[in-house]
Chains A and B, each alone.
Chain A
Amino acid sequence: MKALLIRDLRLAVRAGGGFGLGLAFFLIVVVLVPFGVGPEREVLSRIAPGILWVAALLAALLSLDRIFALDFEDGALPLLATSPLPLEGIALAKALAHWITTGLPLAVVAPVLGILLNMEGPTYGWMLVTLLVGTPALSMIGTFGAALTVGLRRGGLLLSLLVLPLYVPTLIFGAEAVRRGAEGLDGVTPLLLQGGITAGCVALLPFATAAALRVNLR
């Protein structure tokens, strides 16, 4: 599993690996929003958590179809499936690699970009924490979606349609926790719910992903 994780990270940072694609998209959206919404600072700081969360979610969505499709095209996936690694472990390693190359950089960059949206003092911490807690669920759900659509040509659209509804709870609780935190209310409850979703996804979805891969490899 470690070998697979290291290989995927290495592939992601080498030329054409797609690392930075999500990050660049995130940056573009957040830079463009103030131009579209207008320069009123109160409005911007009120919508900042929602904008950052939606942009992060879409950025994570962008690189999902690469998770299994590349390995499927060059034949590495059946070879991995017949290797001693359990398919569940492969799913987990793939999701972790996706999170390290997408979710983690997004969470780190989001507070910085918050300045562009005139985010207020306590919101920065909440933004970082909710993204750190929520993005693993995005990667894991996305890996499951990628496994479902792995053999399909141009499966990206279907993948987005399958995955987006599953992303909604994470988005709601994440943005809600940041909003409450920004208003000085207690944001711990939505944060805990979000953590629960992440924990559930990481515990259960590797098995669903492995089952989907088995069917698609036939």
Chain B
Amino acid sequence: MLEGVSFDVAAGSALILRGPNGVGKTTLLRTLAELQPALAGTVEGAEDAAYASHADGIKAQLTVTENLAFWAEVHGAAVPDAVFASFDLDSLRDRMAGTLSAGQKRRLGLARLGVIGRKVLLLDEPTVSLDAFSVKLFADWLEAEHLGQGGLAVIATHIDLGLDAPEMDLTPYRAAPDAGGGSDEAFL
């Protein structure tokens, strides 16, 4: 999908990925998360990465607290109380996740990033179905609690998060079909 993409992200900073639908932002993030292998090239320092897409693994039959506690325990961490305030979930703690609105669910999905203690965040469209207030809430958390603590983030998004971060447009890196000589070249 993409070729010749190369970038470094320093601790404490973020990189915003831009590009039209279908250009390969999700593919790039999944490759960075080592969910799928790259055809060529290497990824360094992403062993400690957390991947988050619009499907955030929230279980409808568990409460907000139980959902967060599960992901925290899987990562050998505890749920810090501040997370509920950071993502405006305080009043929803004991609600079943299935009864949350789409935006509230999304906030819960993002709050997962706050409890797992990973330094590298790979975020695919993190602000889908969030209102302007929640986007601001998330951007503030990202800047203060994550980047401020020496974490880093690679974010694919179409909106302006208000972060002081370099942007990278993936359109020029789009791979030409069969650029490397397709396997059926000999037959044509």
Contact = CB atoms under 8 A, between A and B. Distances in A.
Contact of B75 (A10, A74, A77, A83): A83
Contacts of B37: 218
Given A3-B73, A4-B74, A218-B36, A79 B57 contact: yes
Contact of B61 (A4, A15, A84, A85): A15
A14 interface: yes
A7 B69 CA distance: 10
A82 B62 contact: no
A82 B74 contact: no
A80 B66 CA distance: 16
A218 B53 contact: no
A83 B74 contact: yes
Q: Is the interface of B mostly helix, strand, loop or mixed?
A: loop
A71 B37 CA distance: 22
Q: Which of A17, A74, A85 has the most chain B CB atoms inside 10 A of its CB?
A: A74
A81 to B, nearest CB: 6
Contacts of B58: 74
Interface string A75-108: 1111111111100000000000000000000000
Contacts of B55: 73-75
B35 A7 contact: no
Given A7-B62, A217-B35, A85 B57 contact: no
Interface size, B (range)? 20 to 34
Interface residues of A, number: 26
Interface in B46-78: 49-59, 61-62, 66, 70-71, 73-76
Contacts of B34: 82
B33 interface: yes
A4 B51 CA distance: 18
A10 B62 contact: yes
Interface of A: 2-4, 7, 10-11, 14-17, 71, 73-85, 217-218
14 contacts: A4-B70, A7-B70, A10-B62, A11-B61, A14-B61, A71-B57, A74-B59, A75-B53, A75-B55, A78-B35, A78-B51, A83-B71, A218-B36, A218-B37
